[in-house]
Structure 1
Amino acid sequence: MTLDKTLLDILACPQDHAPLKYDPAAAAGAGELACTGCDRVYPISDGIPVLLVDEARHATAKK
């Protein structure tokens, strides 16, 4: 699944408002969005980005 380029251009991290980098191969093909400013990675559930700080994981944390 891929996210629309226009959507990706306007999405930002809810924590620090930095741009997000899309990784479509992550999370067993479901994809995820990684913040370019902080260490948070946001999941994508059923094609919908879950941009809740409480749902994010830290990229440096063990999976």
Structure 2
Amino acid sequence: MNKKAYEEALKTDSALELVRIMYKNGYNLPEINQWPKELRERYENLTAHLSNDFNIVKEFF
């Protein structure tokens, strides 16, 4: 992964954009354990709030 793409991935505030950058550089989401550590942690931070959203689903039914 080139330095420019790496820095761009660290700066993004979108998990989708991060995955897009990683995919363009040969990385896939199912193989997240192969991502560089900083980018793996960045993705986990960007998506951490999503696990809490599933608790509200039952309120809609």
Please, what TM-score do these two structures have when normalized by structure 1?
0.26
Q: More strand per residue: 1 or 2?
A: 1
Larger RCO, structures 1/2 (Cα 8 Å, 6+ apart):
2
**TM-score scaled by structure 2?**
0.26
